[in-house]
Amino acid sequence: MHQNPKSQLSMKKMYFFAGCLLATSVWAQTKEHRVVHHRTSEESSHSIQGNSMHHNSSVETVIWSENFSTGIPATWDNSGGTANGVADPDVKWEYRGPSTTPSVTTGSRGGYVGTRGPVQSATAANGFVIFDSDFLDNAGIAGNFGNGIGAAPHLANLTTPSINLTGYTEVDIQFTQYYRRFAGPTGQGVPATYLDFSTNGGTTWPYSVTLNAGIAVNSATPTADVVAVPLPVGVANQSNVKIRFRFEGDYYFWMIDDIQLIETPKHRIEFVALPSGAPKVDIIYGPASGSSKMGHMNLKQVRPITFDANVINTGSDAQTNVKLQMRIYNASNNQLAQTLNSSTTATLAIGDTLDYNALNTYSSAWTPSAEGTYKVVHVVLSDSTSAVFADTGRVVVSSDLLSIDFGRWGNSIGTPNAGYDGSAFASRMDLVDDERLYGVTVGLANLVSASGSTANATFAGGIVELSLFDSSAFDGFTAGFDQNAILAYSQKTISGTDSASGSIYFDLTDPATGFPMLLTGDSYYLVFTMYSNNGVDPIRIKNDATFENASGSALMYLTTVNGTAYNRWYTGYSSSRSFENPWIRASVCPSATAAACMGIGLTEEHLKSITVAPNPASDWIRLNFGSAEGNVEIEFVDGFGRVLLKRDVAVQAGTSVPFPTIGWAPGIYFVRIKGGQACTVLPFIVD
């Protein structure tokens, strides 16, 4: 499946070409094959889920509130829950205050908290509450499952006192939260966070709302995520209402603060993830359905890009003339570069959802025309209000990079959560034009703390490999990549400099001439394989969870994880963006000088017009280029197939270029000329 690092130490690069033939490929569509996620302390350096509620009503009437400035009030019920199905009074919500131990500066204390801190609510300095499932299960020790205060899964309720809502017919509950998801009561397919409502003082709880369904497994909300939920029909205008915050599931934590009951705004729309798995917002790349989302691309590889979104009307009035508007800004000067609009929906009723079938720009794509970093903002407009997706995306058009990441570092992934020696990640490049490949840069992850400081997550000593395959070389999730079809290979040992810099570079140019490889306009996989000396030297790379990748554009090879042997490829984790768009970036021909290193406009007929003279030659030979014009790769080869001279030349029709043959032994030689996908071989004699 993978190269053996010990047997490959002396082998820096391998190339496989056959004469003038350039391999073409069929884009390998890969069916989704995902694995169940396990617990991990992956570090996040950027919150990818944003609050997206907007309304333009007058100042809200606050009916009731609690900010935990003096602890959990005695009128609240926090009497304990269950641990692994058994009643346990110690399984309950905790209060963090300015004078408690731990204090408001600490969030979760679990073994998988990493560097995550507390909720960042407006009044967090005065106190907040947390249910710390991670800590309760493992006592703060990773892998110590079930040996903490109370074994997971957990059930714990935090219940308000009775609240009189008489006279209020449209009510929202609004609060600030920080939640990290692993599994809910029925597994990883559901979250662990719920709101329950009673209208008879807690005797029965007939109403329930699931929260955080759009948060992927092992992902988290922003640290100050403001949630607003309309009370279910039948709860408002009641005199004896209780609300409980229910954590029911397995890991990690849920922190809440600044709870308010307010009158529902008349006009409000929110972005929403759908039960089908469709994300709140999405970005779609051409030229064909399922193409890789190239967050980094150069001008030779630009392609049409479209967008879509899903929203729900959570206001108390219907919304009219609703549409998606995409605003694309040049990040360097914040100038609007492009505006795209979906079709308009006349009416969005209260509580109804408008999905991507209506809110899309499929009929009007954006194709970047200049280098730059572009901010992509999803906006949904109605006659009365608007919603802006808080966490904008971005597209980077550079001179020399191709990658499926969007320049966001969402988390780190690698050993041991993908296994140890032999675990790997693959990233697919779908080319729309021929390209020259110089090398590949892989982003090595550092841990990022809540204060912004970093520490190495990748250590010196691990051995890493970078291999290049045509996409047709992927033979399935069990067989993996055909090693006989490898196009390029490089191996390195991670140094302290690599770890500190946060990246490692693999040079894939020809070792003899320094020329870059020619890739035809097809699909290729860049495969990054890790050997961490059985975990002694951890290796983790950066992952961008901004957008879900196109099916098959990112693959992961799991070896043995937490004692379970996988030894096969997957498209990712179930219900998770923990592995989505790894930072595996190809360094390619700078688009600003593409004519200097790309074959342009050459056909077999053009190349057949090239002649050599004099023939026989002595000290010099000239290539007369006839009608050929563009960039060609020229190789002079002796009768044993050894390359004696190799040059990349930009030529014009009707010109000739001299090449030295001084000192060559008398005999028959060949000149091989390649331009784009065309090739010709001409024999000549040196006397």
Answer yes or no: is 493 within a domain. Answer: yes
523 and 419 in one domain?
yes
Q: Which of 216, 233, 264 is the last residue of a domain?
A: 264
Q: For residue 9, with 0-12 CB atoms within 10 Å meaning exposed, 13-18 middle and 19 or more buried, which class applies?
A: exposed
472 and 375 in a common domain: no
The pLDDT value recorded for residue 465 is 98
Is the same domain home to 582 and 614? no
Q: Is 29 helix (H, G, I), strand (E, B) or coil?
A: coil
At 641 the pLDDT is 76
pLDDT digits (tens, 9 = 90+) for 337-388: 999 999 999 999 999 999 999 999 999 999 999 999 999 999 999 999 999 9
For the chain, the farthest-separated pair of C-alpha atoms sits apart, in whole angstroms, at: 108
Residue 636 amino acid letter:
F
pLDDT at residue 592 tops 60: no
Give the model's pLDDT for residue 677.
64
The tokens 């020329």 sit on which residue?
515
Does residue 240 belong to any structural domain of this protein? Answer: yes
Calpha distance 221→180 (Å, rounded): 7
Beta pairing partners, 65: 260
Query: Can you give the pLDDT at residue 14?
Result: 37
Note whether 383 and 523 are same-domain residues: no
Whether residues 388 and 514 share a domain: the answer is no
Query: Is 12 a member of any domain?
Result: yes
In this structure, are residues 456 and 446 in contact, taking their beta carbons and an 8 Å threshold? yes
pLDDT of residue 10: 30
CA gap 399, 40 in Å, rounded = 36
* Domain shared by 581 and 604, yes or no: no
> Domain count of the chain?
4
Q: Which residue has the higher pLDDT, 456 or 461?
A: 461
pLDDT in tens, 41-98: 765 544 444 444 443 444 578 999 999 999 999 999 999 999 999 999 999 999 999 9
The answer to whether 634 and 649 have CB atoms below 8 angstroms apart is yes
Q: Is residue 403 part of a domain?
A: no
493/548 same-domain check:
yes
Statement to judge: residues 102 and 194 lie in one domain? yes
Contact (Cβ atoms closer than 8 angstroms) between residue 170 and residue 264: yes
Element (H, E) at 158: strand 154-159
The arithmetic mean of pLDDT across residues 206-229, rounded, is: 90
Mean pLDDT within 294-314: 95
Report CA-CA distances (Å) from 246 to 90, 92, 118, 159, 550.
16, 10, 19, 8, 35
The amino acid present at 679, given as its one-letter code, is C
Same-domain status, 418 and 505: yes
Residue pair 371/302 in contact (Cβ under 8 Å)? The answer is no
392 lies in the same domain as 434: no
Residues 103 and 163 in one domain: yes
Report how far residue 638's alpha carbon sits from residue 666's, in angstroms, rounded to the nearest whole number. Answer: 10
pLDDT(265) > 60: yes
pLDDT band at 682 (very low <50, low <70, confident <90, very high): confident
- Check residue 3 and give its pLDDT: 39
- pLDDT of 447: 64
Percent of the chain with pLDDT over 90: 62
Q: Does residue 529 sit within a domain? A: yes
Q: What is the pLDDT of residue 521?
A: 78
115 and 99 share a domain? yes
- Structure tokens, 582: 């790894």
What's the CATH number where 675 sits?
A: 2.60.40.3080
Q: What percent of the chain has pLDDT over 70?
A: 88
Position 577 confidence tier, pLDDT thresholds 50, 70, 90: confident
How much is the pLDDT for 513? 60
**51 assigned to some structural domain:** no
Who's near 235: CB < 8 A, 6+ residues apart? 165, 171, 197, 199, 207, 241
Average pLDDT over residues 636-640: 83
Distance of alpha carbon 243 from alpha carbon 160, whole angstroms: 5
Average pLDDT, integer, range 520-542: 93
Residue 675 or 103, more confident? 103
Tell me what the mean pLDDT of segment 568-592 comes to.
87
- Domain edge (last residue) among 373, 397, 421: 397
pLDDT at 6 exceeding the cut of 60: no
Q: At 4, is the pLDDT very low, low, confident or very high (cuts 50, 70, 90)? A: very low
Query: 539 with 415: CB under 8 angstroms?
Result: yes
Task: Say if pTM beats, i.e. exceeds, 0.85.
Answer: no
Indicate whether 53 belongs to any domain.
no
**pLDDT of 407 above 60:** yes
Q: Per-residue pLDDT tens for 245-258?
A: 999 999 999 999 99
Q: Does residue 185 sit within a domain?
A: yes
Strands 34-35 and 572-573: parallel
Provide the pLDDT confidence category of residue 598 given band limits of 50, 70 and 90: very low
Q: Rounded CA gap, 577 and 217, in Å?
A: 7
Burial class (CB in 10 A: 0-12, 13-18, 19+), 652: exposed
Confidence band for 653, pLDDT divided at 50, 70 and 90: confident
Q: Does the structure show a pLDDT above 90 at 678?
A: no
pLDDT digits (tens, 9 = 90+) for 486-496: 999 999 999 99
Q: For residue 112, what are the domain limits? A: 58-264
Q: Is the pLDDT of residue 649 over 70?
A: yes
End position of a domain, from candidates 375, 397, 419: 397
